C-alpha cells in the first residue's frame, strides 16, 4: 500500500488536489454567474423541445385518424360488397386477394347419373 510520503511525492496527485481545492473555493462565486448566463440558453432549449413534442403529438394524432378512416372505409366496403346476413369472417374468407386460380378450375366435374 502506498504511504502518505509516496502520495505527496507524486506531482500529479498534488496538481489534482490543488485544482480540486481551487474549484471548491471558486464554485460559489462562479456558479451563480454561469447559471445566470446559461439560463436563457436553457430556456430556449426547453422551448424548442416542447414545440417539437407538440408537433410530434399532432403528427401522430393525424396519422391515427388516417388509419382509423382507412379501416372504417375497408369495413364499409366489405359490408357493402357481401350479403347482408354474412358475417365479417365469412366476408374475409370469401374475399378475392388476387391469388391465381388453380389450373383445374375450368374443368367440368362429371355429373352423377340420373336414376
Q: Is residue 98 part of a domain?
A: no
How high is the pLDDT of residue 22?
87
φ, ψ for residue 14, nearest 5 deg:
-65, -40
Residue 80 makes CB contacts below 8 A (sequence gap 6+) with: none
Question: Tell me: the pLDDT tens digits for 67-113?
Answer: 999 999 999 988 887 755 555 555 555 555 555 555 555 555 556 66
Strand, coil or helix: 11: helix
Rounded CA-CA distance 56/50 in Å is: 10
Q: Is residue 25 part of a domain?
A: no
Contact 77, 65 (CB under 8 A): no
Rounded CA-CA distance 4/7 in Å is: 5
Number of domains in the chain: 1
Contact 61, 68 (CB under 8 A): no
Identify the domain containing residue 62 by its residue range: 39-82
* pLDDT of 63 strictly over 70: yes
Amino acid at each position: 500500500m502506498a504511504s502518505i510520503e509516496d502520495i505527496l511525492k507524486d506531482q500529479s496527485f498534488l496538481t489534482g488536489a490543488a485544482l480540486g481545492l481551487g474549484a471548491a473555493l471558486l464554485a460559489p462565486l462562479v456558479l451563480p454567474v454561469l447559471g445566470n448566463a446559461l439560463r436563457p440558453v436553457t430556456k430556449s432549449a426547453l422551448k424548442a423541445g416542447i414545440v417539437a413534442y407538440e408537433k410530434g403529438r399532432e403528427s401522430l394524432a393525424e396519422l391515427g385518424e388516417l388509419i382509423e378512416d382507412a379501416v372504417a372505409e375497408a369495413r364499409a366496403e366489405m359490408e357493402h360488397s357481401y350479403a347482408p346476413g354474412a358475417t365479417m369472417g365469412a366476408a374475409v374468407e370469401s374475399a378475392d386477394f388476387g391469388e391465381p386460380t388453380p389450373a383445374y378450375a375450368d374443368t367440368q366435374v362429371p355429373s352423377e347419373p340420373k336414376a
